[in-house]
Amino acid sequence: MKKINKITLVFLCAAGLFFTDACTKNYEEYNTDPRIITADLIDVGLLLTNVEADGIVGGASYGNGTYGAYCGMCKRDDDAPFLETDAPGEWDFEYQSQLNNLSNIIYLIDGKANKEELANKQAIARILKVWAVSKLTDTYGDVPYSESCLPKEQAILQPMYDTQQSIYADLFKELKEAAAQLDEAKVSYGSADLVYGGDPAKWRKLANSLRLRLALRVINVDKALATAQLSDLSEDDLLSTLGDDAFVKNSTDYPQHMNPRYYRIINYETIQESVQTHMVMINILRNYDTITLDPRIKIYADTVKATFKGGVSPNGYAFPNYDYRGSPTLGMVTEDYKYPWGSGTVSEISDLWRVPVVAPAVMKCSEVFFALAEAKLAGILPAGFTGSANDYYQKGIDAGIEWAKWFYDLTAPQIPALMKDYIHNPAYAPGAPWTDADVQNYLDYKKIKDEEITAFKASPMYTLSGSPDEQLEMIINQKIVALFPDEFQGWCEYRRTGYPKVPIGPDQAALQGKVPRREPWPTREETINSKGFNDALSRYGADTRLTKFWWDANPLHLIFMCG
């Protein structure tokens, strides 16, 4: 018995030594949770796809009237635009969905041995991060930036709020460096990039065009900085054709990927549309009541549904009559101010915008041309830009018309099912069901004709005229049309220029009809990041929607009351 125990003991000790040695050799493997995804296993292409799908498709403006009421794009019947309220939506979205993922792409590539070969992937993430940060700071002003979205080992729990001025300085630096970093000879994202398929040349144009956008943001507070940012650019460096436009089409593969206007119809089984086209938008497209309509009006708006001026509209549309009418921004006003803009008497957003697949954009070439027209008017374009302000203005309108035709071609094939299954289906709406002939009638009316374009280009609207301020107003008015439905960028244009002139009723809410200059910081920040919050508050003096931030320095902030 003792002999057996002794032999057993020797065996166990030997086995212990063997297994101890084995565990030492494979210690990391045996002691690593196989469910943990380590940095070397992360596909940055998947991160980018997620960011683009969330940020461009999921987080885009679709013309819901939230900020559209401030810049004259569109408005909601049920909105109260002049309340003093907490608005953490953009804050949460950018930090949680966009900036964390984009920062991770940048840091992950920095840690790879072949990071030089991955320069395009990092540069594209840097460009998209600038786009995301610009929306964040243009919403709130000073925000956590240099101490936010760091690697976990460097994380700062209470990051400071960087000043908007310092943020913009870094955004300009990032765009220039990222554009220089792009290299056509190196690997890129390919199909993982939903915008350009990883094309470095197009991403470089977008980086430069975003720099142009942000340069004009600061023109009223630091004209020298704006001028310097344009000094190394040429027309060839910028978005200049529809093929350069940065957008992502919706998809029908998943509910969140659809056009939310369409998803609302099929999910809530309602065709009611609460968004109306704004008076400013309609007046611009009606050529301010001249006899020559801008042909794009049919793409952006539908004719009124009520019996009004043009007679009874068959099935809700007056095809032979240009019966378009917009609403001012009303807010909380008395009933006598709301009554003239009742349901059915104001144009709703065109049903072309309610199909499953549209094309939310980061930036379009039409915006670039209007930016160049303004920069030329302001005298900040370098000598290499040989066009006049009017040349660029007309190129912007031309690009906008070409885009509207492209948009019609995208949406028209989707219209028959929308109209017959939902909009003009008696199960959803009163009236006779639409036939194929009715659908074709609608599409024939909506299609932009060459003769309409020719007539419009012969009208005074197509040529800049008047004083520099009047020309700037013409540029911004047309820019608002081209930006639609990106209400946020429209709000930015209004805040920095004072245009368009938006008619506002005698609002009785907290802001008394004054357009907000920013959104207040999320209320929870005062508790969870008190140091950063209070430092920023000491610089601003107040945390309200009327508190101006750094680049908001244009004194032209008038309220145009509607009668």
**CATH number for the domain that contains residue 432:** 1.20.120.840
- Residue 544 within a domain: no
Question: Any idea which residue has 């001028």 for tokens?
Answer: 227
Q: What is the pLDDT of residue 457?
A: 96
- Residue 510 within a domain: no
> Do 310 and 410 belong together in one domain?
yes
The angle formed by the CA atoms of residues 176, 196 and 38, to the nearest 5 degrees, is 80
> Do 368 and 492 belong together in one domain?
yes
Name the domain boundary from 484, 503, 522: 503
Cβ atoms 117, 181 nearer than 8 A? no
Distance CA 269, CA 281 (A): 29
> Do 347 and 210 belong together in one domain?
no
> Do 168 and 314 belong together in one domain?
no
User: Domain containing 100: what range?
Assistant: 44-247
- Residue 29 within a domain: no
> Do 214 and 340 belong together in one domain?
no
Q: What is the pTM of this model?
A: 0.91
- Residue 94 within a domain: yes
> Do 346 and 234 belong together in one domain?
no
Binned average pLDDT, 10 residues per bin, the chain of 563 residues:
36 37 44 52 91 95 92 88 95 96 96 95 98 98 97 93 98 98 98 98 98 98 98 97 98 92 91 90 90 93 70 42 80 82 85 97 98 98 96 98 98 97 90 92 95 96 97 98 97 96 91 95 97 98 97 73 50
> Do 75 and 218 belong together in one domain?
yes
> Do 410 and 452 belong together in one domain?
yes
Domain count, the chain: 2
> Do 412 and 327 belong together in one domain?
yes
Question: Any idea which residue has 């969330």 for tokens?
Answer: 54
- Residue 549 within a domain: no
HEC readout, 275-342? EEEEHHHHHHHCCCCCCCCCCCHHHHECCCCCCCCCCCCHHHCCCCCCCCCCECECCCCCHHHHHHHC
- Residue 267 within a domain: no
Q: What is the pLDDT of residue 307?
A: 60
Q: What is the pLDDT of residue 77?
A: 75
Question: Any idea which residue has 């209004």 for tokens?
Answer: 494
- Residue 8 within a domain: no
- Residue count (the chain): 563
| The amino acid at 235 | E
> Do 360 and 470 belong together in one domain?
yes
Cβ atoms 502, 515 nearer than 8 A? yes
> Do 288 and 168 belong together in one domain?
no
Give the residue among 409, 541, 496 at the shortest CA–CA distance from 134. 496
- Residue 386 within a domain: yes
Name the domain boundary from 454, 482, 503: 503
The angle formed by the CA atoms of residues 177, 153 and 109, to the nearest 5 degrees, is 35
Give the residue among 76, 438, 482 at the shortest CA–CA distance from 296. 482
- Helix ranges, 84-222 (H): 89-93, 100-110, 119-140, 164-181, 200-217
Residue 231: CATH number of its domain: 1.25.40.390
- CA atoms within a 13 Å half-sphere pointing along the CA-CB vector of 337: 17
Name the domain boundary from 228, 247, 266: 247
> Do 241 and 376 belong together in one domain?
no
The radius of gyration computed from the CA coordinates of the chain, to the nearest angstrom, equals 28
